Amino acid sequence: MNSGILTFDATKLPRMKIYDFPRGPYPARVRIALAEKNLQSCVQFEMVDLYKGEHKKPAFVATKNYSGTLPVLELDDGTLIAECTAITEYLDALDGAPTLTGRTPREKGLIHMMSKRAELEFLDAISVYFHHATPGLGPNIEVYQNAEWGLRQRDKAVRGMHYFDAVLRTQKFVAGEIFSMADITVIGGLIFAEIVKLPVPAECEALQAWYARMQERPSVKNRVTMSEPAG
Ligand code: GTS
């Protein structure tokens, strides 16, 4: 069986561009996926400064991403792909061996489910907390805040931590026995939790042990420096 990987040569791929914010938790997900797939050299990063509101400028919203968020992947033919899960799916499929998003129908289903849960129950909840119940990106960008909603989402995120702790007590990775996009999404949540100083509860030992293991992966460890020139 030809997995596709034998004939895949990343250096032959047309260059892609990623509209990016290097320390952001969502862009981190795509940076981790790029490194896991060994595709860093195919990508040019273009920084969009969230704290200056560059992602909300009418031109960016009209021509790059309707949602006014990062990251966004731009292909050499001008195709634009936003949403971390969609970008990861695209990158993962390039070599014909989609380990991050699932090789079998069962893997695909489980990874999609757990990644969606990691967004709904954890990462997106922390994001809402950040934008609504903390200064967020500052008064010029956070034009509407609802602190009560933000605090509820913070509590939801802590419940999410307990949920993923329970999952990781019985299996090695978030969606089963292999590292996948679902792990990357929970990692994104924990990166955001650090930014907003929301600690993982001490009793969530399995989640903490798993995160310590994840931080040893080069893709996670080197994610911020990926776009910096060597030397
Ligand atoms: N559902 C989107 C995805 O999965 O890509 C969410 C993207 C998102 O919220 N990105 C953040 C953003 O643009 C980037 S970061 O906060 O992680 O750096 N936030 C800015 C804003 O104003 O919401």
C-alpha radius of gyration, the chain, whole number: 18
Element at 114 (helix H, strand E): helix 105-118
Tell whether 51 and 117 lie within a shared domain. no
Cα of 1 from ligand 1 centre, angstroms: 39
**Nearest protein CA to atom 19 of ligand 1, as residue:** 69
Judged on CB neighbours under 10 Å (0-12, 13-18, 19+), 152 is middle
Evaluate whether residue 167 is within a structural domain: yes
- Lowest average pLDDT, out of 3-17, 130-144, 169-183, 213-227, goes to 3-17
Per-residue model confidence as pLDDT tens digits over 74-100: 999 999 999 999 999 999 999 999 999
Predicted pLDDT at 2: 46
Whole-number Å distance between alpha carbons of 145 and 153: 13
- Between β-strands 43-47 and 16-20, what pairing exists: parallel, antiparallel or unpaired? parallel
Whole-number Å distance between alpha carbons of 6 and 43: 22
Mean pLDDT taken over the chain: 95
Locus of tokens 């040569």: 9
Evaluate whether residue 68 is within a structural domain: yes
Which CATH number fits the domain that encloses residue 40?
3.40.30.10
3: tokens are 């997995």
**Nearest protein CA to atom 12 of ligand 1, as residue:** 69
Q: Is the CB of 132 under 6 A from ligand 1?
A: no
What is the number of the ligand 1 atom nearest to the C-alpha of 53? 22
Tell whether 204 and 118 lie within a shared domain. yes
Predicted pLDDT at 23: 94
**Percent of the chain predicted with pLDDT > 90:** 90
pTM of the complete model = 0.96
